[in-house]
Chain A
Amino acid sequence: MSAPAGITRVTLLKDLRLEWRSKDASNSMLFFSLLVVVVFSFSFDPSAEESRQIAGGLIWVAFLFAAVVALNQTWAREIRNQVLDAYRVSPAPANSLFVAKVVGNFIFVSVLEALMTPLFIAFYRLRSIGPAWQLLVVAVLGTWALVVNGTFFAAMSLRTRSREIMLPLLLFPISLPAILAMVQATTAILNGEGARFWMTLLVTYDLVFTTVCLLLFETVLNAE
């Protein structure tokens, strides 16, 4: 295994082990998205027939808010004991660290989605008219879009004042096209319409932003 891939693997395993032992991010994410679901079901009538039209939006808003909770913690644990500074002076490539963090967050948010989706289906009595396997594709593409940008912006807002609030301020505007695509694709599939355009858009968005984040991450990490 090449050195950069080795560093990615070690960092990823370390993050997973930390999370497995502490369960800080996953517990708060799960409870937070549960709260969002319950608050939404008080705001709208979840059993109404129109809820099929808004369910795609609700589910993604819940995941988006929950993902911000996880993303805020992703770099914070590297600040303690100056781990990040040690990383910056070491010759390890910055992108190995970035990829490890992105994959780690992707796993956390995917687990959250897998646990929350059945609850959503039960609460909102959802039944997909279109092919349900496409929802899985949309979930993977959409989560990747959120997590790549989110990890990048979390690193960016790391050393700003009031960083917890900074992350959504940076992440949401740039993610709006991706959010629109996820919501529209999900709603289209649930209603048995075609979602080809939105999926293509998501793939393009993922490719462009993953590339640019990889190109710029070293600059951001070493910004002085």
Chain B
Amino acid sequence: MKRLFPILGVVTAALLVYALYMALIGAPTEQTMGNVQRIFYYHVPSAWTAFVLFFVNFGASIVYLVKRKVAADRVALVSAEVGVVFCTVVLVTGPIWARPVWGIWWTWDMRLTSTLVLWLIYVSYLFLRRFSSSGETPTLAAALAVLGALCVPFVYFSIWFFRTQHPQPVMGGGGSIDPRMLHVLLINWLAFSCFAFLVCWSRYRLEKLQREVDQAHALESLMAPRGSVR
């Protein structure tokens, strides 16, 4: 397993470089938007990666609630953290694209609003993990993750209805995508997924080490002779 990590690292780096090249130079320039459209190759793969990670968080939380495996809790923590990072990338790259294309930074459109709410839910999850005392954190966090994931369909459904009631004129229509663009998009998604997996993996190892260090400290303070100050 340990030997696999650097190999995956090299593969991911190569993929990221190739994906960057394809996104900036390889992909055809969009007719109406011009080069601004290229941010799409970061925006959309980040969104997909974030959604996958939040889904992993939901699955791992259920596994933790049922089986009480520490590893499942670690996976839940790591996927939520990295998912929030990718979701932040989505929320930052979106306005950068929207400003030149729509002429505004933000609109309370369905997708923007629901992504923002999703981000809020998982940030509150990380807050809970940070503020609760160590022993009960996994259980409380898993319960919150389940509630948060259940909330997602409500968020989408309510905001969908809310916003279709009041259509936004700036919304870009669906339409078809150039196959070359789709190719670049998928390459980018692959690269981003590998990168996310790599980060999750190393964060997982870090978390494991951290807990071992904490346990060692706790043990040491128990074993220390009474009255000694260290």
Tell me whether A216 and B154 are in contact (CB under 8 A).
Answer: no
- Given known A-B contacts A177-B155, A181-B158, A159 and B132 have beta carbons under 8 A apart: yes
Q: Decide: A205 and B144 in contact? CB cutoff 8 A.
A: no
A177–B124 touching, CB < 8 Å: no
We find that the number of chain A residues with CB closer than 8 angstroms to chain B is 33
* A196 CB → nearest B CB, Å: 11
Q: Which of A20-28, A33-41, A96-104, A161-169 contacts B (4 or more CB under 8 A)?
A: A161-169
Could you tell me the distance between the alpha carbons of A204 and B153 in the complex, rounded to whole angstroms? 11
Q: Given A160-B133, A173-B121, decide whether A197 and B128 contact each other with a Cβ distance below 8 A.
A: no
Interface majority SS (helix, strand, loop, mixed), chain B: helix
Size class of the B contact interface (CB-based, 8 Å): 20 to 34
In the assembled complex, the CB of A118 is this many whole angstroms from the nearest CB of chain B, namely 29
Q: Are A219 and B136 in contact (CB under 8 A)?
A: no
A-B pairs with beta carbons under 8 A, tally: 92
Which residues does chain A contribute within 8 Å of B190, judged by CB atoms? none
A95 at the B interface (CB under 8 A): no
Distance, CA A124 to CA B4, complexed state (A):
66
B132 near A160 (CB under 8 angstroms)? Answer: yes
- The reply on A136 being an interface residue by CB < 8 A is no
In whole angstroms, what is the CA distance A180 to B110 when docked?
Answer: 13
- B150 proximal to A (CB < 8 A): yes
The chain A residue with its CB closest to the CB of B121 is A173
**Quick check: B117 and A173 within 8 Å, CB to CB?**
yes
Q: Is B147 a contact partner of A209 (Cβ separation < 8 A)?
A: yes
Whether the pair B117, A197 counts as a contact (CB closer than 8 A) is: no
Interface centre among B128, B151, B159 (most CB of A within 10 A): B151
Query: A205, B154: Cβ atoms under 8 Å?
Result: yes
Within 8 A of B (CB), among A200-218: 201, 204-205, 208-209, 212-213, 216
**Contact digits for B132-162, partner A, Cβ 8 Å, 1 yes 0 no:** 1101100110011011101100110111011
Report the nearest A residue to B155, measured CB to CB: A177
Residue of B whose beta carbon sits closest to that of A193: B165
The answer, yes or no, to whether A18 is at the interface (CB within 8 Å) is no
Let me know if B117 and A159 touch, CB within 8 A. Answer: no
Do B143 and A173 touch across chains, with their CB atoms under 8 A apart?
no
Contacts of A224 in B (CB 8 A): 135-136, 139
Residue B52 at the chain A interface, CB threshold 8 Å: no
CA distance A216 to B150 in the complex (A): 13
A15 to B143, CA, bound (A): 26
- Rounded to whole angstroms, the CA-CA distance of A173 and B139 in the bound complex is 19
Tell me what chain A mostly uses at the interface: helix, strand, loop, or mixed: helix
Indicate whether A76 reaches chain B with its CB closer than 8 angstroms: no
> Could you tell me if B158 and A220 are in contact, using CB atoms closer than 8 angstroms?
no
* A126 contacts partner chain B, Cβ-Cβ < 8 Å: no
**B128 and A160 form a contact (CB under 8 A):** yes
Whether B135 pairs with A156 at a CB distance below 8 angstroms is no
In the complex, B20 has a CB within 8 A of chain A: no
Q: Indicate the member of B117, B131, B136 with the most A CB atoms within 10 Å.
A: B131
Q: Does B106 count as interface, using CB distance less than 8 angstroms?
A: no
Which A residues are CB-close (under 8 A) to B159?
177, 180
With A156-B144, A180-B158, A184-B162 as contacts: A161 and B117 at CB distance below 8 Å: no
Q: Is there contact, CB below 8 Å, between B143 and A219?
A: yes
Residue ranges of A at the interface with B (Cβ–Cβ < 8 Å): 149, 152, 156-157, 159-162, 166, 169-170, 172-174, 176-178, 180-181, 184, 197, 201, 204-205, 208-209, 212-213, 216, 219-220, 223-224
Can you list 10 A-B pairs with a CB-CB distance of less than 8 A? A157-B131, A160-B133, A170-B124, A174-B151, A177-B154, A177-B155, A201-B154, A201-B157, A220-B143, A223-B135
Residues of B within 8 A of A (CB): 65, 117, 120-121, 123-124, 127-128, 131-133, 135-136, 139-140, 143-144, 146-148, 150-151, 154-155, 157-159, 161-162
A159-B132, A201-B154, A219-B139 are known; give 15 further A-B pairs, CB within 8 A: A156-B140, A159-B133, A170-B124, A170-B144, A173-B121, A174-B121, A176-B120, A176-B151, A177-B155, A184-B162, A205-B154, A212-B146, A212-B150, A219-B65, A223-B136
